[in-house]
Amino acid sequence: MPHRIRRAGYVVAGLCLLSLAAAAEAPQTQSAGSWRLVRSVNPRAGSDVVSMTRSANISSDRDLAGLMLRCHGLSPEVIVVVVTPFPPRSQPGVTIGANGREWRFEAQVVPPGAELLLPAAATDLARGPWQSAHQLAVKISWQEQSITGVIPIDGLRGALATLLANCPTG
- 103-160 confidence digits (pLDDT tens): 999 999 998 999 999 999 999 999 999 999 999 999 999 999 999 999 999 999 999 9
3 state SS for the chain: CEEEEEECCEEEEEECCCCHHHHHCCCEEEEECCEEEEEECCCCCCCCEEEEEEECCCCCCCCEEEEEEEEECCEEEEEEEECCCCCCCCCCEEEEEECCEEEEEECEEECCCCEEECCHHHHHHHHCHHHHCCEEEEEEEECCEEEEEEEECCCHHHHHHHHHHHCCCC
pLDDT band of residue 52 (cuts 50, 70, 90) is very high
Overall number of domains in the chain: 1
Structural domain boundaries enclosing 153: 2-166
Average pLDDT of the residues in 35-39: 94
pLDDT over 80 at 3, yes or no:
no
Its pTM stands at: 0.80
Q: Pick the residue with more confidence: 71 or 169?
A: 71
Average confidence score pLDDT of the chain: 83
Q: Which CATH number do you get for residue 35?
A: 2.60.40.1880
